[in-house]
Amino acid sequence: MTRNSIIVGLDIGTTKVRAVIAEQSPQGGFSITGVGQSPSTGLRKGVVVNIEATLRSISAAVEAAEMMSGQVADNCWTGISGSHTEGVISRGVVAVNGKNRTHREISGDDMERVLEAARAVDFSMDRKILEVIPQTYIVDSQSGIRDPLHMIGVRLESEVLIITCSMTSAQNLVKCVNRAGFRVNGLVLQTLAAGRAVLTEEEKEMGVALLDLGGGTSNILVYNQGAACFTASVPVGGAQVTGDISIVKNIAAETAEKIKLEAGCCWEPLLDEVEETVIVPGMGGRAPFPIPRSLILDIVKPRMTEIFQMVKAKVGEYSPLRTLGGGIVLTGGGANLLGSADLAAEVFNLPVRIGNPLPVGGLVDDYRNPVYATAVGLVLEGNEREGGAAPSPGASDAVPGHSDGINPLPIFAKIGNWIKREFF
């Protein structure tokens, strides 16, 4: 990598598009120097339905991150999610190629071949493989092996989780990013990226379910014994909560969203003993009117309970909840709703926490929010796939070669980037 190269994570959601820019140097420094977000109007339940609206949202979010970081982005790692993503368990088997017939040592080539054998699943033509995640290896009937490299054996098996998505959904997403003026380095499952940013290794070992509460969908990824092993999605999210408030109180969706963010709650003990009210601006010349916060809770709580119950049923299809020793971790915009962790703990009967991205340096106060979990995880995933060193939590905020963390933005590069977005 070149000195101070940048890595961009782009989280394209149903209600928001978020971008994170990180700078890395050969000395191992890693710092997040720019974050940006923009309203998203071109997606429905994680699927692009309006290319022009989506590319405008992408451009706005990335430009906001560029202005904060002082860098110009031309490529990014992009997240993908939605009900069109699926996970399938597959198994591959190969014979170990060894120079010595009596002591066959498993090589990296053998591990690549067994993973390729596991990938050989007959998917339909409209499916695209996103991830192939090894679960465990078996050497000559000895199971539970994490890393069989250099072990002696004759027969090598692997069990993997293959995550696929709709080919057309992926192509439309990439097309939006390209038309916005950026190259997609790779598509990454959003929950996998979020897990990279918020989960600890201990939680993954004990068994944990990551629940990304998005605007249009709620996406689940379950870890067990250190590896992702199950993924699912339910077609309900924060937008439905906003819609409930809008319909019940006959107010505009924008006003309902503001009320949800500022006064929404789904756990009774968190409300003050003194009845609080929220003043709602009137429409069409009507006078403003008050709404008790307890009434907002009565609207919000049933929908949030429904979401958690649907997720509980999905996870229960894979394994009993008691196997999740690490509990539930909430990310996404819905995790910021007051009382969401308390309500989830009641529904799942498990420990629940809010998943803020672990600090990796830079603008910690700006990105330590569950809404940025996916974007930060995309940066971490992109850094690893590009061969960079993994940053450790609590890394230095400084980037080697920077005195103040900000670089002057090259004006000609900015103009070139604008021309590329407008005309190509």
Whether residue 6 is predicted with pLDDT greater than 60 in this model: the reply is: yes
Q: How many residues does the chain have?
A: 424
Burial of 412 (0-12, 13-18, 19+ CB in 10 A): exposed
**How does pLDDT run across 301-359, given as a tens digit for each residue?**
999 999 999 999 999 988 888 899 999 999 999 999 999 999 999 999 999 999 999 98
pLDDT-derived band at 388 (thresholds 50, 70, 90) equals low
Q: Which two tokens stand for residue 178?
A: 């390209």
Q: Which helix (H) or strand (E) holds 90?
A: strand 86-95
pLDDT-derived band at 288 (thresholds 50, 70, 90) equals confident
pLDDT-derived band at 274 (thresholds 50, 70, 90) equals low
User: Is the CA virtual torsion 266, 269, 275, 278 positive or negative?
Assistant: negative
Cα separations in angstroms, 14 against 8, 26, 35, 180, 368: 19, 36, 18, 17, 21
pLDDT at 334: 95
Whether residue 30 is predicted with pLDDT greater than 90 in this model: the reply is: no
What angle do helix axes 253-263 and 293-318 make, rounded to 10 degrees? Answer: 80
Whether residue 402 is predicted with pLDDT greater than 90 in this model: the reply is: no
Rounded to two decimals, what is the model's pTM? 0.87
3-state secondary structure 92-143: EEEECCCCCCCCCECCHHHHHHHHHHHHCCCCCCCEEEEEEEEEEEEECCEE
Can you state the percent helix, strand and coil of the chain, rounding each to 5? Answer: 40, 30, 35
**How does pLDDT run across 48-76, given as a tens digit for each residue?**
999 999 999 999 999 999 999 999 999 99
DSSP state of 251: -
**How does pLDDT run across 157-209, given as a tens digit for each residue?**
999 999 999 999 999 999 999 999 999 999 999 999 999 999 999 999 999 99
Asked if residues 212 and 194 have their Cβ atoms less than 8 Å apart, the reply is: yes
DSSP state of 18: E
**How does pLDDT run across 115-149, given as a tens digit for each residue?**
999 999 988 899 999 999 999 999 998 998 999 99
Whether residue 255 is predicted with pLDDT greater than 80 in this model: the reply is: yes
CATH code given to domain 86-164: 3.30.1490.110
Q: What is the mean pLDDT of residues 364-368?
A: 90
pLDDT at 398: 34
- Residue 81: how many CB atoms within 10 A of its CB? 33
Q: Fold identical between 5-83+168-191+358-423 and 201-356?
A: yes
pLDDT-derived band at 99 (thresholds 50, 70, 90) equals low
pLDDT at 414: 44
**Sequence-distant (≥ 6) Cβ neighbours of residue 139 within 8 angstroms:** 106, 145, 148, 151, 153, 155, 156, 157
pLDDT-derived band at 45 (thresholds 50, 70, 90) equals confident
- Residue 136: how many CB atoms within 10 A of its CB? 18
How far, in Å, CA of 325 to CA of 322, rounded? 7
The topology under which CATH files domain 5-83+168-191+358-423 is Nucleotidyltransferase; domain 5 (3.30.420)
Bridge partner list, 353: 329
The topology under which CATH files domain 201-356 is Nucleotidyltransferase; domain 5 (3.30.420)
**Closest Cα partner for 348 from 373, 374, 323?**
323
Q: Which two tokens stand for residue 263?
A: 């006064």
Domain borders along the chain are 5-83+168-191+358-423, 86-164, 201-356
Whether residue 400 is predicted with pLDDT greater than 50 in this model: the reply is: no
